[in-house]
């Protein structure tokens, strides 16, 4: 028993000694680097810095003038401004044409017809404008006149896909007009209609 108690006392003294030595070593060790995250404060943007969310300026004045001319029903002036844009650059010309078609949507059918007639008389290969012109004729009940812009697309644009699309529309219109004339017994008008179709497209066997 005495030996056992003595052994326990020795173990306790050894443990205390190790503890004091370890504490001294710990106190002499350098501190570990900090793991805290530093948040960088970004200064506010100067009022003089450019705002990337704001679209760049540079819309030609003629485009705004074009819109004003159309709203004032001065369609000749509007087409003159289109010519000005065309002489300047292809991009501005394209922007002007898009603005003209957008403004045409704001007009009544008769007013839009007048605008597109003046425009396509000069720019007779503008496919989007020709489609709009044909649609306006149809909305105005002028079905036969709606064919002319479609035939222009077939003859003059050189776009095979648009030409085929136009031919499909022509077929639908021709069938509807001819059927209506035949049902009403207007054989003279039907004959004149056929002659007009030959004039528009002499190579169409139908």
pLDDT digits (tens, 9 = 90+) for 78-135: 999 999 999 999 999 999 999 999 999 999 999 999 999 999 999 988 999 999 999 9
Which pTM does this prediction carry? 0.66
65 CB-near residues (< 8 Å, 6+ apart): 81
d(CA 106, CA 92): 22
CATH number of 124-206: 1.25.40
Domain edges within the chain: 59-123, 124-206
Rounded average pLDDT over 25-38: 40
Alpha-carbon distances of 179 from 40, 64, 69, 193, 198, rounded to whole Å: 78, 46, 42, 11, 18
């Amino acid at each position: 028993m005495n030996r056992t108690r003595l052994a326990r006392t020795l173990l306790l003294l050894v443990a205390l000694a190790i503890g004091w030595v370890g504490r001294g070593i710990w106190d002499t060790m350098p501190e570990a680097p900090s793991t805290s995250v530093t948040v960088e404060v970004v200064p506010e943007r100067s009022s003089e810095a450019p705002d990337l969310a704001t679209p760049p300026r540079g819309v030609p004045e003629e485009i705004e003038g074009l819109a004003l001319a159309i709203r004032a029903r001065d369609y000749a002036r509007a087409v003159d401004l289109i010519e000005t844009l065309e002489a300047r650059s292809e991009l501005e010309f394209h922007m002007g044409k898009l603005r003209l078609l957008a403004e045409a949507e704001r007009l009544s059918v008769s007013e839009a017809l007048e605008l597109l007639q003046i425009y396509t008389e000069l720019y007779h290969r503008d496919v989007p404008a020709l489609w709009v012109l044909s649609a306006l004729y149809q909305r105005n009940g002028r079905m036969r006149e709606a064919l002319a812009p479609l035939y222009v697309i077939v003859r003059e644009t050189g776009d095979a896909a648009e030409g085929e699309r136009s031919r499909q529309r022509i077929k639908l219109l021709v069938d509807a007009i001819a059927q209506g004339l035949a049902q009403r017994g207007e054989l003279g008008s039907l004959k004149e209609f056929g002659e007009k179709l030959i004039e528009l497209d002499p190579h169409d066997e139908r």
